[in-house]
Amino acid sequence: EVQLVESGGGLVQPGGSLRLSCAASEFTFSYYWMHWVRQTPGKGLMWISRISGDGSHTNYADSVRGRLTVSRDNAKNTVYLQMNSLGAEDTAIYYCAGGNIYRLNFWGQGTLVTVSS
């Protein structure tokens, strides 16, 4: 069964940094685009970023471009999200998902990031 497990969430102070990881198993990781999506408390889903199977192409939502960086290590079947200059508006559950350029076929359970002093 396809599995995605996010980790690295937690409490961080405003202006701080955090790196999220998403470990994949039971599918050919390098074949798939990987996405990050977040859900702020009481709100809907918001797409943040995606990275191509070989890592050569990345895209970002305007609201996070320049502060968040997506990367992947296909040897470790893991995708990462480096988050810098965090603010209260970044408090959310962060999901990783695998699919193609526009479709998210399978998702992880999410990891909670709380930005607070």
Residues at the site binding other proteins, with contacts judged by CB under 8 A: 4, 35, 37, 44-47, 50, 59-62, 95, 97, 99, 101-110
Helix, strand, coil share of the chain (percent; to 5):
5, 55, 40
Closer of 62 and 75 to other proteins (Cβ) = 62
Q: Measure the CA–CA gap between 115 and 83, rounded to whole angstroms.
A: 11
Closer of 17 and 62 to other proteins (Cβ) = 62
Q: Measure the CA–CA gap between 93 and 52, rounded to whole angstroms.
A: 22
Q: Measure the CA–CA gap between 38 and 45, rounded to whole angstroms.
A: 6
Smallest gap from Cβ 3 to other proteins, in A, equals: 10
Smallest gap from Cβ 83 to other proteins, in A, equals: 18
Closer of 41 and 117 to other proteins (Cβ) = 41
* 8 A C-beta contact, residue 47 and residue 37: yes
Q: Measure the CA–CA gap between 34 and 96, rounded to whole angstroms.
A: 7
Closer of 45 and 74 to other proteins (Cβ) = 45
Smallest gap from Cβ 116 to other proteins, in A, equals: 21
Smallest gap from Cβ 73 to other proteins, in A, equals: 22
